[in-house]
Amino acid sequence: MRVVSLARQCLAACAGALIWLVSGAVQAQAARPWSEDVLYFVLIDRFADGDPTNNARVQKRNPGGYHGGDLKGLTLQLEELVDLGVTALWINPVQKQMPKGMYAQAPAKLGIPEFNHWGFHGYWIDDFEAIEPQFGTRDDLKNLVDAAHKRGIKVLLDVVYNHAGYDSPYRDRRTKAGAPFLRLGEGNCEIDPITCAVGGLPDFRTEDPEVADYLLNANIGLARYAGVDGFRLDTYKHVASDFWAEHRKRTRALKPDFFLLAEHWGGTAESLDGFFQRDEVDSGFDFSFKGSCEGFVSGRGRAIAYGAYLGKRHKVRAGYILAHYLSSHDEPMSLANLGRDKEKFRMCVALQMTSLGMPVIYYGEEVARGGSEWPTNRNDMPWGKRDIQPGGGVERDEAMRDYYKSLIKLRKQHKALTRGDFTLMSGQQDPLLAFARADAANADRVVVLANRDSEARAADYALPAGWTASQVVDQLSGEVVTLAEGRLRVAVPPKSVRIFAAEGTR
């Protein structure tokens, strides 16, 4: 009996410790501001297959078909994200999709014949109150969120309010007053973005309170059940502001800090400001970052002009966040745009991780995933030699992943990179991009030097006011550089970025 009693005490103590550890992880995750997060976007079907029983419709050779990834598979591979340094996960919509595919035609230059396009991406919803069986179940979603929270990872669920899938059964649904749920027809989104049919998809009449109520209850009810930390809002510009005001009210009732990230196509700090002013959302995608960085590293424009652009991004309204990305499911992969030049791409990654905002990584980008424009920008996650389907055996670049890990770690170590101000150091004719980030509250200062040329360049800059250290350390290589007369004099290799901070802060 004594042994049993001791065993029970031990079990109770271990359980208590486990509860404390889990509780601590969740509290730490909740306390961390979103401005300090690194967000990782996954198309569930393309990531990892954890349940072969839901693979009846899998067509791996069809670029528009289901490939077998599911919520269980993503849950099983969360350690991949933990090891990378990711702190927030964004997943595509999970509700039941159209029951059949549609013929589609890829750009001729890709050499892909006409193919059958299914809703593997999650944006062609057929039933907002059911989960797509290819992805799993409601419990699978909740298990994913719980598992992510135990690892200190927040979860954003992508939600759709603007439209249903093609040939949707909602075409026949009516309100109690007899009004249709959907308006049909193409419309012109440049003239009226609210009432147009985006991509020919039937448009919900969200101005009708009953229609709005149905969609809000369906999406927020799923969020409540799964315990997600926020929403990524699809086609944000195609729904009116009064709807978003009600949405904000209801999501805050669910959780006061429920995070909202808006996909407002073409969004910038300036164009998103009205939505921030009305407090409809917490964050919006910065659609300008990708093209601007690709242009800079490819030699277009002066370094000082690109530096001025980075400084302008700091004009975002206080308390709100720009989410900046290099690739997405709606745009060509950045590495492909750069001609698969990995040195140029690495420069953009470094500039992304040292710039203001919440960096967004598109799945597989960190291992140099192949693909270019649609539909190849939605191909399978490469897993290399690991037998993880659907991308098991597909080659990946582990050195690129290590580079990402170093930069993410660096971003976490320096508050200057997540909330510091910006000082442009480049001159009018300077071939180098040089800028400083400083967070006075934490006495944290970082200098970034970027050389896009194909030959090494000498850097010679007076450090901004506030630098008192006699030495700085290259945060990536560990090289210690002695300052002379308050100036940083170093060589910057071709197509590279160097990041310096005071000695002892690496």
* pLDDT tens track for 167-195: 999 999 999 999 999 998 777 888 899 99
pLDDT digits (tens, 9 = 90+) for 349-368: 999 999 999 999 999 999 99
Residue 19: is its pLDDT beyond 70? no
**Rounded average pLDDT over 148-154:** 98
396 alpha-carbon distance from chain centroid: 20
Q: For residues 216-235, give the mean pLDDT.
A: 98
pLDDT band for position 313 (cuts 50, 70, 90): very high
Structure tokens at 81: 């994200």
pLDDT tens-digit series, residues 40-51:
999 999 999 999
Number of H helices, E strands in the chain: 13, 22
Task: Sort strands 95-97 and 102-104 into parallel, antiparallel or unpaired.
Answer: unpaired
**Under 8 Å between Cβ of 145 and 108:** no
* pLDDT exceeds 50 at position 24: no
Read off the tokens for 88. Answer: 């927030």
Amino acid at 88: A
Checking if the pLDDT of 90 tops 50, the result is yes
User: What H or E segment, with its residue span, contains residue 402?
Assistant: helix 398-413
CA-based nearest residue to 272, from 232, 307, 317, 230: 317
Query: What does the pLDDT read at residue 184?
Result: 86
Domains and CATH numbers, the chain: 21-413 (3.20.20.80), 422-502 (2.60.40.1180)
d(CA 369, CA 235): 26
Question: How far, in Å, CA of 15 to CA of 331, rounded?
Answer: 47
pLDDT per residue as tens digits for the range 414-466: 999 999 999 999 999 999 999 999 998 888 999 999 999 999 999 999 998 88
- Residue 505 pLDDT: 58
Contact 98, 410 (CB under 8 A): no
Per-residue pLDDT, 186: 73
Residues 6+ apart with CB under 8 A from 174: 180, 181
Structure tokens at 85: 């340094």
CA 133/CA 413 separation, integer angstroms: 41
**Distance spanning both ends of the chain, measured CA to CA:** 55
Mean pLDDT of 5-25: 44
pTM summary value? 0.93
What is the Cα–Cα distance from 43 to 58, expressed in whole angstroms? 15
| Span 147-171, average pLDDT | 97
What percent of the chain shows pLDDT beyond 70?
93
Pick 148 or 23 by higher pLDDT: 148
In the predicted model, is pLDDT for residue 22 greater than 60? Answer: no
Q: Compute the Cα dihedral for 83, 84, 88, 93 and give only its sign.
A: negative
If you average pLDDT over every residue of the chain, what do you get? 93
Report pLDDT for 467: 85
Q: State the Cα–Cα distance between residues 475 and 375, nearest whole angstrom.
A: 37
Q: Pick 110 or 486 by higher pLDDT.
A: 110
Q: Does residue 270 surpass a pLDDT of 60?
A: yes
